[in-house]
Amino acid sequence: MKIKLYQVDAFTNEIFKGNPAGVCILPGQTNIDNKLLQNIAMEMNLSETAFLIKEKNEYNLRLRGLVQTLKEKRYRAQLVRSVHIPKGFFDTIDHE
């Protein structure tokens, strides 16, 4: 399974500023349990990680989110960050 991972600097126009969050794009029809999602979020080591699951087309996405403290629910902020990834409304930095 191919998983695309992004780190998004939200609420800023400057690189390495703002509020960083992880965004993970998963293929549709993928049966991924919460433990794997938690492991991915721990690997990203950010306060929030959003998981976008592609459904039938690029406009049909499902959002799942994990935060470091499971009592917190900030899915609106995750949605704001993650919705920009599939549409390409962001600048990327390539590191080799």
Domain presence at residue 92: no
Report the Cα 81 to chain-centroid distance in Å. Answer: 8
Asked whether residue 21 is assigned to any structural domain, the reply reads yes
Number of domain units in the chain: 1
Decide: 9 and 18 in contact? Cβ < 8 Å.
yes
- Give the domain extent around 43: 4-87
Residue 56 lies in a domain: yes
Query: Which of the 8 DSSP states describes residue 12?
Result: -
pTM over 0.75: no
Structure tokens at 68: 């470091």
Tell me the CATH number at 19: 3.10.310.10
CB 86 within 8 A of CB 79: no
Sheet holding 19-26, edge to edge: 4-10, 19-26, 48-54, 61-67
Q: Which of 14, 43, 48, 58 is catalytic?
A: 48
**Does a structural domain hold residue 96?**
no
The answer to whether 48 is a known catalytic residue is: yes
Q: Does some domain include residue 95?
A: no
> pLDDT, tens digit, for every residue of 37-95?
888 889 989 878 888 777 776 666 666 665 554 444 455 555 555 555 555 544 455 54
